[in-house]
Amino acid sequence: MVDDRHGTDGVADETLDAVADALRTAETGVALTGAGVSTASGIPSFRGDDGIWERHDPADFHRRRLDADPAGFWADRLSLREAIYGDLDPEPNAAHEALATLESAGHLDGVLTQNTDGLHDAAGTDRVIELHGNHQRVVCDDCGDRRDAEAVFERAATDGDLPPRCDCGGIYRPDVVLFGESLPDIAMNEAQRLARDSDVFLAIGSSLSVRPASLLPKIAAEAGSTLVVINYEETPRDTEATHVLRADVTGVLPAIVERV
């Protein structure tokens, strides 16, 4: 295992070259992204020091809360949305754009993401598997109608329409995985298949501490994939990785793209 701990400028050229070579020769390349890819776009992290869950109680966003107190759930959800985004209109950063470039060049077969911000789509990545859903959508709990979240959140905030309801009478909910819910089977099954089939697996900006997504790099490594972990902090998968880069994802990913 090559372990680079000095930030973007300290990552050895030979390490960047090795990762680029692995991607260039891989039949199947896969990336898993976490909160560290979105923080450079101004989106705060949920975990860690001063994370969102330091200021908001995760229990308020449990599936049981939505069922028992949908109006209270939505009131807290509005507060959470304001805490995360406020006046921010986040845009893709250099890391999102680098991954989109790698995909368009044929070096990535898909991006698996734990993020719900939709920025990989906005950057132009075609195959994005959203493991935790997408906060830009809402879905009716009864009929399954999906629509853009902005108008529904605006209605809830402006008119006090809590909980917001679908035309069928059902309650809209954010189209994300709530506490107490399992990840979508279709998304998780596809992610596991890609991990097993990958020749190179990039785990980027994720603490790799939240199951079951955190197991995907392990699945890839056990299947013989070249595992590359790019994260400032240590992760549980570092010992299984071929390369560990302690680097800014917005710097190191474009540097890899230049070498592929």
Q: Tell me: the pLDDT tens digits for 78-124?
A: 988 888 777 778 899 999 999 999 999 999 999 999 999 999 999 99
Q: Is 132 a catalytic residue?
A: yes
Q: Considering only the top CATH level, what class is 1-43+92-132+182-260? A: alpha beta
Residues of each annotated binding site for Zn(2+):
140, 143, 166, 168
Q: Tell me the pLDDT of the chain averaged across its residues.
A: 90
Residues of each annotated binding site:
35, 39, 46-47, 114, 116-117, 132, 140, 143, 166, 168, 206-207, 231, 248-249
Per-residue pLDDT tens over the stretch 165-217:
999 999 999 999 999 999 999 999 999 999 999 999 999 999 888 888 899 99
| pLDDT > 90: percent of the chain | 73
Using a cut of 0.75, tell me whether the model's pTM lies above it: yes
- 241, 227 Cβ separation under 8 angstroms: yes
CA 201 to CA 23: how far, in whole Å?
A: 9
Going by C-alpha positions, the residue among 168, 117, 159, 161 that lies closest to residue 141 is 168
Catalytic residue, candidates 96, 107, 120, 132: 132
> What homologous superfamily does CATH list for 44-89+137-176?
SIR2/SIRT2 'Small Domain' (3.30.1600.10)
Residues of each annotated binding site for nicotinamide:
46, 116-117
Q: Tell whether omega for the bond before 212 is within 30 degrees of 0, i.e. cis.
A: yes
User: Which residues in 153-209 belong to E strands, given as ranges?
Assistant: 172-176, 200-204
Domain pair 1-43+92-132+182-260 / 44-89+137-176, same fold: no
| pLDDT > 70: percent of the chain | 95
- The residues spanned by each domain of the chain are 1-43+92-132+182-260, 44-89+137-176
